[in-house]
A and B are shown apart, each in its own frame.
Chain A
């Protein structure tokens, strides 16, 4: 099959390109069925980006759901850690309700998961595949990295209820240092802790500088370990990518994510286009002994990029009328398409589509009516 990349829309091109990258690193394509038992999502509701799920009952009365997410299904079916690691990628439609719209949408999701024993190399590999994915989508991109252990370690020092922690985390996540500090004080934390926690909101920048700044707030081993891991990762990846930055205010649900987390942005798209992290906690909740790291690319976000398509809709618009014989017309179309041109044959002129050439099949053969190129 011969595919011209100009025929593909941005989204399709991205999917082709990313699949190529993942295949190159030995990741296998994973195909899942459309439905899953609803209970899986009910038990792990906060793992999903939006809690709404389309459900229905099958003929046995089981409650099923149209998949809102792929990672949970992959994690649920993962092998035990003692076997060789699973390196998988998927390209599936999922059904979600984006926060603003209030209606369900079918979204094409592309993602990659590494399940097994996750060592430093594995973390670097997944992170670099995430960075490569972003670079393939746009030249101007940023991959923001953090480690949940840093914030989690800091919160371990505070005597707080789960709800209080949640409130603080959500403030940190929106870089809201004034509110974070106010909350910490109202929960009765010591001045030093209040300052450290609100400082996390603005701990971001290049790896080297940010790790240096973060060092000032180390309170326990958990925090120190997270910085050491980030430093090691940087040692491996620093020569290869320019798009990596560190930001400790990037956070995700502590009950699923426990280590490295990251978010990708590309210029011109107002929301996150890539999101992922280390999710050993989810594996543990699902009763698995393996570790896991992975990410998803939200290709639907690419639709929002400037909608300019270069050039014309068609190379040739071929007009015909009653006098034209179907046989001759068919031969003409075959001849034109054989040159690789995009040809559309119809009876009337189009004011909707743009074309390079307007041809007509008359009695004497093809005649050129208009040339726009």
Chain B
């Protein structure tokens, strides 16, 4: 019997579009599209098992080996630094991590900068490299609110279209890095399911370059 490949997908739009791609390369599991409250979906024929996880938990599942592979944003990888293999850039869910705030928020380097963010590790390493003293204010959502009501000087957050920022009269002040979805694998699982995981990566790579070509044409 073929060994089951366990895949952790992030709940939400990204996870759904990744599943569509996996379906196209022979890892279909029709059950998953039925609107049910089930959390785990298996297809023995294709030897896959999927489950939905909170996006920020995907790397944890993979590191602990309950999922062999997972799809996760680079932002989460940079923040959590899990001990996993990062095998592929899926070039999906593209956005960037940036410093944003009111127009003149960065003026005057003579005082401590207050930074509100969901990503304390990314923010502190970015400013440590710049040798700037900061105070991190960890928030879990509605980050944009912080500079408006004076909780912080700036925010470090994901920027997709910049629309939310614009509507709140905030600006991107500095860019930290580009983000996209990555395919990660557990270090031990990779050794025992090498062929399955490598085939999957190869298929995704071929597909990615196909999409690139289409775009050019």
Contact = CB atoms under 8 A, between A and B. Distances in A.
A360 interface: no
A315 B64 CA distance: 36
B89 A99 contact: no
Contacts of B87: 175-176
Contacts of B42: none
Contact of B64 (A175, A270, A272): A270
Nearest to B180: A178
Which secondary structure dominates where chain B touches chain A? Answer: mixed
A220 interface: no
A142 interface: yes
A204 B64 CA distance: 23
B188 interface: yes
B191 A144 contact: yes
Nearest to B192: A267
Contact of A265 (B84, B88, B191): B191
Interface residues of B, number: 19
Interface in A127-176: 140, 142, 144, 174-176
A63 interface: no
A363 to B, nearest CB: 55
Contacts of A142: 191-192
B92 to A, nearest CB: 13
B188 A178 contact: no
B43 interface: no
Contacts, number: 45
Contacts of B65: 269-271
B63 interface: yes
Interface residues on A, range: 10 to 19
Contacts of A99: 83
B192 A175 contact: no
Contacts of A7: none
B64 A174 contact: no
B93 to A, nearest CB: 15
Interface in B158-206: 186-192, 194
Nearest to B68: A270
Contact of A174 (B86, B89, B191): B86
Interface string A245-273: 10000000000000000000111011110
Contacts of B84: 174
Given A174-B84, A175-B86, A176-B86, A270 B188 contact: yes
Interface in B132-164: none
Interface in B84-125: 84-89
Contact of B63 (A178, A266, A267, A270): A270
A179 interface: yes
Nearest to A273: B188
A271 B86 contact: no
A267 B63 CA distance: 15
Interface in B70-89: 83-89
Interface in A173-214: 174-176, 178-179, 204
Nearest to A170: B81
Given A174-B85, A178-B88, A179-B86, A271 B192 contact: no
Contacts of A204: 194
Contacts of B188: 265-267, 269-272
Interface of A: 99-100, 140, 142, 144, 174-176, 178-179, 204, 245, 265-267, 269-272
6 contacts: A142-B192, A175-B87, A265-B187, A265-B192, A267-B188, A271-B83
